Amino acid sequence: MKKIGSMIMVAIFLAAALIATPFVNTKAATQVQITRSEAESRALNMINLTWTYSKAANSYINPKYAYAVTSPKQFNNVTTLQAVGIPYNWGGLDGMDSNSYNAPWINFLDAINHGAYAGNTNSDGGMGYVPGTAGLDCSGFVQAVFNIHDYKQSTSTLFNNYFTKINLSDIKHMDILDKPGDHVVIFDKWGTQNGLNGAFTYESTPDQYYGGIQGVKKYFISMNTINTGYIAGRYVNIAEDLPHPVSAGVFAQVSTSSAAVNFMSSPLSTATILGTIPNGSIFYMQDYNQGWYQVSYNGKLGWIYGTNIAAIPSGKYVTVINTTSLNIRSGPSTTNSILGTLNQGQYAMVLGYSADGKWCNISINGIQGWSSNTYLSYIY
């Protein structure tokens, strides 16, 4: 009977997983784009967060959960503590603007003010997230850094739903190293610590071999450890940072937490609003003025503020070079009919290439056709 019951439970679990996965993957596309510098700022805000720990207020746990809770070491033998950094909390998602499952608070500081138990390093207690505890585990920290609005992700679901596998040799600042089912860290830079080669990281961990609190901190992972099964990954909604100021002749796109950004008549917050530009729109940069960018949109020339602008994903869009106008043809040959043109200041999405690599299949304004690679260049 036990064996049959176990088989039924496994079947139910697998069926539920098959049903749930498409829903989660769909949500990946709905997340807000974030630049590497914005993600780093979120990480450092949590690493450098200062707050007051009180044993009287932040060390009570419901007795029925006590077996599954272990206090982070930084809180041992102290009555009060001016703490730095969010403590490690198994299954936790309490960041600067996120909260754990069914928690009666809105973020970590609110949790502490509500008398939550600060952290929990016990990952072997037989429970996931323990109600009443506050803080971040490794995947919760990564989820909070990239501002991923979803149910609490594990090291496996986080990677599968929101990250793309990349070669370790291609890893960049604010990519991740993930060992599904074990641990995940955010890559800062390559370096050496205690005579070991490896990577400096941002992460939440109870490990203290390289120092720091049991919690969110700047840390290190050796190359030997990386080689035990860590996979390099890149957030699907990451955007490269634009250099500031930006000179004329650069393409960019709107990146904002709202549906659209205001389009102003002059580089002033008090200027007349000409309209709005939808999030994700791509445009040609005309000029720069003290944090504002002049763009042409729907035949109008106006300004949007720099915090609402991000770089375009690399290897996705092309523009015209060495000519003012380029024909778009029905096939990869000069003998094919002309469907339209791609002009200076316009961009087109790359769909593919001809067999000989000399023609590019592009799409612009509803036109899909072929143009010569000789006159095309990737925007980034």
In a domain, 196, yes or no: no
Distances (CA, A) of 200 to 86, 222, 257, 258: 19, 9, 30, 33
Q: Using the 8-state DSSP alphabet, how is residue 272 labeled? A: P
Extract long-range pairs of 40-43: CB within 8 Å, 24+ residues apart.
40/173, 40/174, 40/202, 42/95, 42/96, 42/144, 42/145, 42/146, 42/147, 43/141, 43/145, 43/186, 43/202
Question: End of a domain among 278, 310, 342?
Answer: 310
Is residue 87 included in any domain, yes or no?
no
Domain holding 291, by residue range, is 241-310
Establish if 259 belongs to a structural domain. yes
Q: Are residues 274 and 321 in the same domain?
A: no
Other C-beta atoms lying within 10 Å of the C-beta of residue 74 = 20
Number of compact structural domains in the chain: 2
Rounded CA-CA distance 32/309 in Å is 13
Would residue 11 count as lying in a domain?
Answer: no
Residue 354 counted as domain residue: yes
Residue 285 lies in a domain: yes
Q: What is the CATH number of the domain that holds 353?
A: 2.30.30.40
- Would you write out the chain's pLDDT as a tens digit for each of its 380 residues? 333 444 444 343 333 333 333 333 445 557 888 888 889 989 999 999 999 999 999 999 999 999 999 999 999 999 999 999 999 999 999 999 999 999 999 999 999 999 999 999 999 988 899 999 999 999 999 999 999 999 999 999 999 999 999 999 999 999 999 999 999 999 999 999 998 999 999 999 999 999 999 999 999 999 999 999 999 999 999 987 766 555 556 778 888 767 889 999 998 888 999 999 988 888 877 888 877 888 888 778 999 888 788 777 666 788 888 888 999 999 999 999 999 999 887 888 888 878 777 898 999 888 999 999 888 887 75
- CA 150 vs. chain centroid, Å, equals 13
